[in-house]
Structure 1
Amino acid sequence: MILETDNPSILSSIKQIFAKSKKVEFWDSLPESQKEEILKGIEEIENGDTVGYEEFMKKHR
């Protein structure tokens, strides 16, 4: 039905519905500082620079 209509009012209404329902990607909604921290954490994990749970907890108890 959408493809068969030439009514600008209907097409405009449909366009508004799609624009409202468009999801924002989580990553794109983050500030650059948070993206940098996340990427840094991923890099540390990939490089094996991690601490076990028990060791971490000993320092913070």
Structure 2
Amino acid sequence: MADEKTKRDFRDRDRVSADEDYEVEYFATKTGITPQQVKELIAKHGNQRETLERVAKALRKQ
């Protein structure tokens, strides 16, 4: 199900959707990892933005 881009609220700001390419691309650019790595992290750790940012930061340091 696609996000309704005309509705502006903060219900899912704390999550990253692996189904939405623009969210994956944005998160990848923001954290300095590849979109494929973002999708793998979501599959492994879930879609909570805070957790993904922490794990991506650790991944980038390796």
Q: Which has the higher helix share?
A: 1
- Both structures adopt the same fold (TM-score exceeding 0.5): no
TM-score, length of structure 2 as denominator length = 0.26
Higher relative contact order (CA 8 A, sep 6+): 2
TM-score, length of structure 1 as denominator length = 0.27
